[in-house]
Structures are given as C-alpha cells and as structure tokens.
Structure 1
C-alpha cells in the first residue's frame, strides 16, 4: 500500500471554537455569555475560521513537496496532442494552369454564438495540376488489353468489361500526367446495359497506380448507377499516383475493377460507355489542429549561464515539428578585434542550437538547450559548482548581446480538435479558384495536455523504470510517453527461431468510432510512420545495449460474424439488429473492447462462445437460431486484390502473442 500522508494539524473549525471558549473560562472568568449572538463569540468564530484556512494551507505542504520532488527527478507535464485530418480543397472549375494551396493555409469550423472557430493548418504545399484523361482501355481475363481511345464519342459505345463480366475485368482511364493527392472528376455518357446489379451497390472498385501497387480510391460521389446511366464519378487519388505502361500505352492510370463481394449481385452483361472524360478539380492535404506561429525573436542573451526565454504562444503539441532555436552573433570581418563590430548594422550569423532532454551529458562547448513544450520555456545550460570547488557550465553560453530566435512553430492541440466530418468548411485566407473546403473524415488523435493529478500517478512509474527500458513493462510505459496519441502499447519477446530475443513493441493508435454501430475503418489502426519513428528513437536511446528492437503494429486478424436471432414479441427487430451490431463492434473492439473496456487482449482467441455471450446480452433477443464465425483480413482485402477471398468459416480464431483481432462487416438477421 502507499504511505499515508501526514496530517500536520487535524483540528477542525468546531474544535478551535471549543478550545477558545475553554480558554475564556481560565483567562476571563467574568465573561459568561458564550451564546452565538454575543459579539465576542462572533470574533472567536471569525478567528477560528481564519485559523482553519491556515491549517488547510499547512496540510497542502506535503502535496507541494511531492510535486516539487517530481519536478526534481525530471517529471514534466505532457503537452497536448494535435488532431489531424485530411482536408479537401475543391476548385470552382478545372484550370489550365497549376493551382497551389500553400503550406500554412488555415481552415476552420464555422464560428457560432456559443462556440469559437476551431482552426486547422495545412502541413504541406498542394499543387492541383491540370491533369486530363487521354486514353481509355480495358483488360479482360486479367491479360487481354483492348484500347477504346478511338471509339470515344462515336455514338455506338463499347463494352468496358467482358460480355459476361467476371471478377478481375477492369476499365482503365489514363491521364496525361500524375495527379497525386488530387480529386478527379470522371464524366460518363453510358447506355443502360449492365443488367443484374444493384445500382446503389455495384460490384466495382476504383483503384490508382502509385508506383508500387494499385491502391483503392475513395469515392466522393457516383451518379452513374454502376456505369449504367450518364453521370459523374469523383475519386480521391493516392499520394503516389504515378505513370505506368499498360498494353504498350504509358499514362497515369486509374482503373475500375469488377470484384466479388459477399451479398452483392454481379453483372449479367457488361455496361456500355459512349464517352468518358476526366479532369482534376481539387486535391487533399493533411492539416493539423492549431495555428502556425511565424518565427519570432525571443530576446537578447545576457552572457550568463542558465538564461531562460519563453515562447509567445504555448503549448506546442507533440505531433508538430520540433522547435528550432537559433542564436545570431555579429559576423566579424577578417582582422577585426573581437570587440569591434561592423558599422552601421552588423550582419548576424545564425547558428542552430540542439534541443536536448537534459544537460547531464552536455559539455561547455555543446550548443544545447532544453525546451518545455507545455510552458514554452527555452533554457540554456546552467553553471554548476563541482565538489573540488571548480565551476563548470553544462552547455555553451550565448555571447552577451546575441539575438535568440525560433523558427516557425505550431501551437494548439487538445480534444477540441476531434471535429466531425464536413465541419472544416471555412477557408480563412482567400486562394484564387478555390470554391470550397471540407474534411471527408472526422479529425482524430487530439488529446488534452497532462494534468497535475495525472502526473502524480505517473511519478512512481517514472521512478520505477528510471527512464530505462529493461522489462517489458518499461517498454510499454516509455512507448506511451514517447507518443501520447498511442492508445495501447504491448511488448513481446520472440522466444524461438532466427529472431529469438528480438523485442517487439506493438503500437495501437487511438481511433474514433465513426459509425453509430461502432464499426471502424481497419486502416485507421495502422500507426503513422512519423509516430512509429518517434517511438523507435525514444526507446532506442533507453534500451539495454545489445537488445534488438522492432517497433511495429500488431498482426491484425479479422473476423466476420453472421447471425440469425429470434426477437421477443414486444421487441422491434430494427432496434434489436442495431443494438446487436453495436455490441459486437464494442465488445470485440481492439481499443475499447475486452472484459475491462481497455481493448481486446493481445493474443486472446475469439471463439464462437464469445459471440454467443455478446448476442445473448442484447435486449430483446429471445434466443439464437444460428451463429457463424468467419476468418477474413480487412486490411489485406483493402490493399491487395489477391487477398479478396471468400471468408473461411471457423469455430475459433487463434491469435499469436503479437496479434490482435478486429471485427468488420458483421451481419445480423432478426426474426420477429
């Protein structure tokens, strides 16, 4: 158990009043009126109240000492984490020249009478190039190429797939140049001929070549009813869209492929297309919650050790680029005395000072600073008196009069940035030809900064591992410290094989349930390269020498549940179905599921009994008629066409120690 905190003075207000009344009998016997209406008793109660406040402050001293001790051992409050979102910029019309959306463009939510605007800043330049379609063709049976470029606009139309379409048949549209991260508008003129499908759910998938493989393209809209009527299709192309040679024709290709999905009807006849044109009408770029602060001058050095400066805006979120501190000294001409400065205004020579966690390993000549992203304090190395009486500076000291500045940095972060889809719809700076801006998906990853109470809980853990990774628990704690946007961290050690002894740190990011039933996008469980590299560097500096370290996501094993349940006589089947789907996704969720609500345990299998337990807990379910469990991988199906296989029925899905399960596309039929 934890050591009990001492109560330095445990007297209460009433005890203080009673003690004072007893002293009155000894010190002033003539005072006999001790009723609350007596003015003297009122004064006694007033001073007792003031003394009670002093005792309360006195008992706060151990807590303050505890916090100061945590500060001495290096425990600092974690800064907030900024939410990220992909923002789409849409042009008013296709342009003949490149339209650039510069880095630092600010978009926000709409300001209301009760809610302020939440700002996001783009993190890279976006060039909307005038890409246009120049070639059209199709591939039959996965190998036969047909070029339809010359048939466009003739009025007869051409079959974009085989006469009886099969999975793998594809329509190819080639652009004259790559359109990375752009939105392309495909305008079709079609005839109704692709019979047999559901127009609202056609068995098609749009993909684009990114230089290495075909990546799936999210659809903004589709008004063609499965290529059966004239209309438009809007696609969001991947960042690596590139040129490829297909059928002896070189172009930046986009293709529409026939796929087979469970429960989706296929084509009996191929659709016919009269004409198709494609143009770029916008683009996507990543944006981060917060404002971009231009470089600022912090002040001038006094030539003494331990000088501190403070940023004008804080905190700085952990997901932003590191703060770069520069010190500018006057450039001396050859032959000038050290104290001589060129006139009239000296030209400054800027040097970058490295940000370190502490000055413990800094020498007198090392240009080191410490940066506290929570408070915005930037401090230079201190001067310390050693045991032999000598003094030493830990870190170099800027020359007197030198100018200290920082490069542009970002401020902001917090849970407020986790805005819903389509809410970032206001462009704060006017850009020519840009007509609209929006975020297709909700912004995720925003976390508030650490509170003092949370730091008090973390303090003993910090002292336990002493900022060194020795045990598996140390790796897990340090991984979460390196990236607060991580929801779960798991450390496993390979015990056999050629990788025996390898320490694997598995990272699961925080994800937001978008759908009402709790279903999530499987690709959202993959940690970004930026976060993974930050965790790897952080752990690499703290691991034991000789340990082989690997930072990676878990092995995700997907499963699908198909169930038929009987509802009670008074239950609404639609409500029972919705609640059953919600519980299936929630209880078996990799982040919020499991027995304790902290995520489905790593390495724990999923059995048909687990599914029975979840469904039987649904209100309105009388009994279960049939429950099936299928093994399938949603991430592989999304990224690799070869992985599109029928789900395999099973009674149990075994999970390795470095594995985690994820459920998707559950189906529940409710019988009244």
Structure 2
C-alpha cells in the first residue's frame, strides 16, 4: 500500500526564508533583503500563493477519493436486493405475473419473470443409459423428496444416455416454465464458483426434446445448471402441442434429456426436482418503464399506465395512446399520484428527496417535460457524478445513501425547470432482506388460494457501500495478484479456475523436456477431481484453464497442460505377529494406506526403507519376513535400494495391500 503523502508541511515564514537564502547564489547583485524592497514584496506574494496552493492540494474530499478508486477500477457498490426461492404447492396450473408481490417476514418480495406453474405434474422419471439397465422412479406427490437421489444419466455417464420426465398433463404452448433442479454437491473437492457463465466452457451438452405426435421437437432453454453441474433452474417454453406416448412401458407426456457430449467430472445426482419453485427478489417495484410488448405480460390488476411515442425529430417522447405508443410506464395505483417528483426551478444544484426509503439506483429513471412543447418529455441520463458532464448534458445523479436525486449547476449538467416525472423505481431493504428459509409467506396480489413454502435462505442483499469499505475492498484486490508470473501464481490460478473441481496441479521444470521450443514455456500437470481418482484432463477442463491463464500470462509465454499418469501400486508383505493381537492384519493395512496417503503430489518416491520402518514400528509386529512393492503404469524406475521412483507426471494410487500373518 502506498504511504500517505502530506503536501502542506511548510509555512509562509519558512517559504520566504528558504527563497531569500537562494538570492545570493542566483542573483548576487541583489543585496537589499529588507521588507521595503519591491523584490522582497513580490517574493512574499509568491510565498503566500505557494502556501495557499499546497494547502488546497493537500485537501481530499470524498469525490476525489472516489476518483482515486476509479483509477484502479473500483467503484463503490450500490444497494442490492436479496434473492430467494419459494415453492407454490398447487395441484392446478397457476400463472404468476411479473412483479407479483409476496410478503415474507414483513418484507416485500417479487417474482422476476412471468411464470407458469403447471401444478404437481411430475409422474415418473426414467434413466435410460446407452449400456446397462434402465431405472425407473415414481414421484409421489404426497411425500417429500428430500431423500431422493436420482442419477439422470446413470452413475457412469456416457454420451447417448437419456433421462425422461413423464408428466401427468401436457405443458401448454408459448408459456414460460421453470424446472428447478437441486444437485448433490457433497464431494471431497468443491466446485469453484462461476461468476461469469458466458466465459465458461460447459463440461457437457444436454439436448432437451418433447414428442408432438410426429417427431421429437428440440427445446431451446436457458440453463442455469450449465449442463447439470450445479443446482439451478431450466427455463423454457414449447411451440407445439405435447403428445401422449409411451416409454419403457410408462405412459405420459415426456420431456427427454439426451446427453450428447459427456465430460462430467462427477455424475450429476438429483436430490430434488420441481416445476413449482419461483425465484424472488426482495424489492417493492412502484413503477417500471418498458416496451409496449411488456404490456401483454405485466399484471393488469392495481396497475395504471402512461403511454409514450418516440419523436425522432426532437429526440424525445410524446404522451400518446396505447395504439400509437412505443413505450409504457406502469405504476402501482397508490404510487401514481407520486410519479411527479417535483417541478424544476431552473436553479443550480437542485436536490429532491424520495419519500420511501431504500431506493434502488439501478431501477430509477425519469422523464423531464419540455418547456416549449406540451406533452413532450426527454429521458434524462443517470450518471455517477457530474465530473464529465457539460452544460448541455441531460444528466442527474441518484444518491442511494441519502435517498434523493441531484442535478447539475448549469456548468456541469443541466438544471431542470419543468415537470420531473418518475417512470421507473423500486425499493429494497438491502441487508435486512437476507432472511433465513422457512419464514411465513403472505401473498399480496390476487392468486388462487395456494400454500407456499420458503425453501431457500435469502442472499445477496446489501446496503450502499461506504467509502471506507470500498478502500478496504480495493486493498484486498491489490493484494490478490491476478497476474501469472511465478510458478506459484500459475498453480493458484489453475486451482481457482471457475466451474472446475481440481485435486492438485504442479508447474513442471520445462528444462527436463526434450521438445521445448520456446525460451519462456510453462508446463503444468493438472489432476481433476473424480470419484474413482483416475480422471484425465478433459478438453473442457483444458479450455477453461487455458482461457484463465492466457489472459493473465506474460506476453510471449507458452503454456502446455498435461494429464496425470496414474500409477497403481500393490504392497505384499509376510510377517510374524504377536499372538495376542487378533486383528493385526487390519492394523498393518491401515498403516500402509496411511503411509501411501502421505505420498501426495506428482512424481513421489516410494521409499522401501521408510515403508519397512512404518510396518516394523507397529506394536503388533515381531518380524518382517518379506516386503515387496509392485508398481505399474507409466515410466517408473527403481534404484539400488529398492525405492520406486515415479515420473514427474505420476500420481500414486494404492490398490491392494496383501498381508500374510504368521503367529
């Protein structure tokens, strides 16, 4: 961290004294240093200016501190609404309009998208592997599925494996459905979180189809699970009518999931699946501004609307009729009278407070009416500050901390002098929205009488970030080096690759390879996690790791990735045991397995003498007659001491301990 630098460290008298002492050297002819001399008067004047300048330069306010943060790419985070999930327990189909409000623990939550709940329609699940036995599972809507473990593509995944969901009733055309899938994630190595799905190369590809009576129709879905590697929802709609058919002697309406590309690190295991889950966001939307097509999906009850048509000539909106409009502002009835925030007075630095607390800056938009043309409105642009604004810029700032909006001074940003109309705004409780699962749910908007369960802890809610918190985050970012320079940098970046489970990795000594072509070459062996311990480095793993490293490497650095070479070892021993120990074989096997468990990493050496000492040191053992280590796979070698030396890419796996006991 850079030290704090103080610029205002010298006073007026000291500045004058220092300048006067330099006169003799610079201009020896000047001999009168008294106060009456005009030159001394001018010198004192400049000393005063220097003292004033260094004082002002040394002052830093919050606006300047924010600019310092922007220089390193850090912007104070705004208020953010929490998210959670509920389950609607309904036998019959329900349509949940956008913005339907639910009260949970006294806070307002809204659904983010138009949703159609088909009711409890899951009937059966069929797992149909390409090779092996077919497995069928029957959903019973009267029981909880918390203990369900269903491998949709089998325990041994393979391209061509299929998973069928048999539905009791067909899904309706052109309606949005969300199939929520919860996957078991209890493995020895956690999957690294994925913050940017668009840059992640999926480990698999799953094709979703349904039968319309003549052919299988493919579904283009939005897949939050990223190919069944994490819990989430699959959102989709169908374009044709579903046909009643049969599969593996089970009748119903089927959704078919076909695994067309398989590079899974672990076989996905479903522990819960449902069409009845709805994601909610903790906010109270009072107004929203959108295209006319949204008028068809936005809820109608308790909503008032203003319609606008775009006028290209003037670059603004005109109040219009629904038939001619291109934009529409939706308002809750009780907020409609508050949509006019104020009437601008044309003065600099206007400030207007919002009555309701918890304003979300991202949701806020305004139109300002024209002074010349009645019914004309210009959309003003929301900015972080007025530093880059000119006198003709239609800019305003939302201050979440003080729950108000600010306008410019005529030099930086225009000054409104007419009606200021809110067309979009939402409010949130921020941190208070992060409530625990299991809270009581009340439905504000009119829906059929249904029960609802709050099934997920709310997460992600936060208050506007204080400046001190932004600086603390900036320090953390600066300390977390994202550049790949040293071997340790490369290994850390590989281990943190989003979406992957990695057991271990190591940067190899490139000088030991005969095919090195570049002076600056980095070679890395990576061991992916797998349940059996034998996973090779798949193409998808390599692409994700390459993508992460290539953006962070030094220019001119070549990177090459290697899969581990798995070496299977077996230990054979014959020994004499003290007669009072009845289960000595198990103790010896445990000691040997622990010895091999300590040989972690790549290219370890199995020391014959150390293994001998490990067994001989057991209390049960009197004498060792024979000890032999058999290792197979890769280019292993032995030295004269009998030690087994693995190649640099070698990973040791103990497969067998054969212990013959003589008492």
TM-score normalised by length of structure 1: 0.39
Larger Rg: 2
TM-score normalised by length of structure 2: 0.39
